[in-house]
Amino acid sequence: MASILPSAVPPPDAPALARALPYVFSGASLVFSSLVALLRASFALLAFIAKVIAHPIVILSPFPVLLYIAAPIIVFCQISLEVLVYSPYRAIVYISDAFYPAYVFLGVACIAGALVGLSGRLAVLAMLYVASPQSPSPRLLADAHEEQKPHRIP
């Protein structure tokens, strides 16, 4: 009787890889589940050992008493941090989020303006060089201009 669902076992005339694939998947699943179980057991063992070792330390520790005594100082520090650090930080973050699009727009405009100006300057210098190749370079003119300046006496 034929089944509606496809068979999990490939037919005998299937390639060797297709016949071996179910065994590979089940073996990999077994290895993976074994590793997960081993990790769970090792973490549980480590947690139990830590609990057994730390339990006497917590009971004999004066830490809860010190926390009870220092509670007013801790609350004061929390309120001070909220007022002096966290609230201004949140306000700065909110304002910077609000102005971020304008900041990016102006930054891109400045960079684009600098590129347009630089390319225009280079285009003018190229045209001047093409129009009169015998003229001295702008650096030579700048050096000659600096030599003509009177020297100051310190």
The DSSP letter of residue 83 is: I
One domain, residues 57 and 127: no
49 near 41, Cβ under 8 Å? Answer: no
Is 147 part of any domain? no
Tell me what pLDDT residue 92 has.
Answer: 96
Is 68 found in the same domain as 39? no
Is pLDDT at 44 greater than 70 in this prediction?
Answer: yes
| Phi, psi (degrees; rounded to nearest 5) at 132 | -140, 85
Could you tell me if 131 and 73 lie in one domain? Answer: yes
Q: Which domain holds residue 40?
A: 16-61
Same domain membership, residue 108 and residue 71: yes
Distance from chain centroid for Cα 54: 37
Specify the number of domains making up the chain. Answer: 2
Query: 7 lies in a domain?
Result: no
Residues 84 and 113 in one domain: yes
Residue pair 125/118 in contact (Cβ under 8 Å)? The answer is: no
| pLDDT tens profile 58-111 | 677 777 788 889 999 999 999 999 999 999 999 999 999 999 999 999 999 999
- Token couple for 144: 């000659």
Specify whether the CB–CB gap between 124 and 116 falls below 8 A.
Answer: no
Q: Is residue 50 part of a domain?
A: yes
User: Are 138 and 125 spatial neighbours (Cβ–Cβ below 8 Å)?
Assistant: yes
Whether 42 shows a pLDDT value over 80: the answer reads yes
Are 68 and 27 contained in the same domain? no
Is residue 130 in some structural domain?
yes
Would you say residue 2 lies in a domain? Answer: no
21 and 91 belong to one structural domain: no
> Do 70 and 104 belong together in one domain?
yes
**Token pair listed for 103:** 């900041």
pLDDT over 90 for what percent of the chain? 52
pLDDT band at 45 (very low <50, low <70, confident <90, very high): very high
Are 104 and 80 part of one and the same domain? yes
pLDDT of the residue at 148: 58
> Can you read off the two tokens belonging to residue 81?
């941090």
